Structures are given as C-alpha cells and as structure tokens.
C-alpha cells in the first residue's frame, strides 16, 4: 500500500506539492469535439472547431501548410530564394529576410531531404517537414505534423495571464522559457527564433500577440492575410497620391 495515500481525484490537474501545476493551469472544459485528437488538415480551437474558413489546405498537414506559403512555385520544395522572397512579401526588410533564409534553410533542409546526401541548394522538402520538428517546442504539432488542439489551448491557459486570448512580449518570453527541454541548445535557439518572428509579424498595434493570429501562423493562413493586406495598403497609397 502506498504511504500517505487518501482520497484523490484521478482527473485533478494540479497539486500543492508541485506549485508549477497551479501557476500553469491546463484547460479542463474545452467545448468542442475531441480536443485531444490530432487534426491532420485543420487547425481547430474553441472558437474555430472547423478550422480556418476559406483556407485551402491543399491536403497538406497543418505543419506542411505552415511552410507551404513559402513554396512560391508550388513544386513541393522551398529553396532559399523562395524563403527570402516569402519573408519580403509579408513585410520583413531585406536584412531580416536574408537572416531568416540562412537560418531556416540552413537548419531544416537536411532533415527533410529524401536521401542522405546533402544538397548545396539547401532545399526544404514539404512532404518531409515533420522530420524537422525540434525539441523545446510547443508540441502543438505532433511528430507527424498534425495539429493537437488541446496543446494549442494549453498555451493560452498556461501563459496568457493578462487576457485569456492574447499575450504580451513578457508573457511570450516566459512561455518560451517554460518550454525548454534539458540539454537542447538547438531547440532553445529555434524556439526563441520562431516565436520572436511570430511576435514581430503578428502582434497588433498595442503589442499583443492574439490567439487567432497565432492559430493562423500554425496553418499558414496568417501569412496569406498579411500579404493581401500589404498589397491592399499599397494600392490605397497609390490612389491617394
């Protein structure tokens, strides 16, 4: 018989002997179908149980959709110059776009290659993007690139302390620190790099990163939204001249 046993709730999500479980509560009453079930095609959450409306998933997994925006010629391969141009299309300056190209294609090309021989062109193969999943991440993508709704909801339950559906930069940093796995320097860097770009791109005018914008980053629909908005803004500027 276990020592110190007593009445307990098998569904309890926190305990006083591990204060962090109270500091980072998990959602317990998600009101959409099977939130624990990884979705291959749609990034769903409490507010969007059917995913992003009018978003063409191309029969890609959600993780594949996340990167497919940068496949400018739709051949299933993302070359460095496509990464660079994609970042320019969503509003990043040449220096940041070049840096993103170096880091993204430099780090994630080899794991996605169909063979063992490296390519000096540093292509990223979308069909194998799940092989580029790294440690110290949010675990919203599973190891096959599917979207896990309960993990996405956990982000906001655990780390959005001021408002339930948005985070400021301080809360974002706290989240990225909490996600760190032991002895994982590459994962630590990749985590900070990815969330840093996400915040920079998707924060609103008041400096908040919203839940909906983040969900759009996960399935790539936010990239399309930003590009369209920038083009519309450019057209309006021309008309005003």
Q: Which among 205, 201, 207, 203 has a CA at the least distance from the CA of 223? A: 201
Asked whether 59 and 74 are in contact (CB, 8 A), the reply is no
Torsion sign across C-alpha atoms 124, 73, 225, 92: positive
Under-50 pLDDT residues of the chain:
1-2
d(CA 192, CA 177): 9
Convert the pLDDT of each residue in 138-175 to its tens digit: 999 999 999 999 999 999 999 999 999 999 999 999 99
Q: What are phi and psi of 33, to 5 degrees?
A: -65, 125
Residue 1 pLDDT: 43
Residue 2 pLDDT: 45
Residue 237 pLDDT: 81
Residue 185 pLDDT: 97
Residue 159 pLDDT: 98
**DSSP designation for 142:** -
Question: Residues of 191-223 as b/e, b for ≥16 C-beta within 10 angstroms?
Answer: bbbbbebbbebbbeeeebbbbebbbbbbbbbbb
């Amino acid at each position: 018989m276990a020592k110190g046993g007593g009445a307990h709730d098998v569904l309890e999500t926190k305990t006083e002997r591990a204060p962090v479980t109270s500091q980072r509560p998990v959602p317990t009453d998600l009101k959409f179908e099977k939130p624990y079930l990884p979705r291959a095609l749609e990034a769903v959450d409490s507010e969007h149980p059917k995913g992003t409306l009018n978003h063409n998933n191309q029969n890609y997994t959600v993780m594949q959709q996340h990167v497919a925006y940068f496949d400018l010629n739709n051949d299933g391969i993302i070359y460095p110059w496509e990464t660079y141009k994609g970042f320019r299309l969503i509003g990043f300056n040449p220096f940041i776009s070049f840096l993103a190209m170096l880091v993204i294609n430099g780090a994630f090309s080899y794991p996605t290659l169909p063979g063992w021989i490296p390519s000096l062109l540093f292509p990223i193969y979308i069909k194998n993007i799940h092989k580029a999943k790294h440690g110290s991440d949010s675990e919203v993508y599973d190891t096959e690139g599917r979207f896990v709704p309960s993990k996405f909801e956990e982000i906001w339950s655990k780390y959005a302390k001021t408002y339930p559906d948005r985070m400021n930069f301080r809360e974002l940093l706290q989240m990225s620190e909490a996600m760190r796995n032991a002895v994982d320097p590459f994962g630590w860097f990749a985590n900070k790099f990815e969330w840093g770009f996400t915040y920079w791109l998707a924060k609103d005018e008041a400096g908040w990163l919203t839940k909906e914008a983040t969900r759009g980053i996960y399935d790539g629909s936010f990239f399309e939204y930003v590009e369209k908005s920038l083009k519309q803004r450019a057209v309006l500027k021309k008309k005003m001249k």
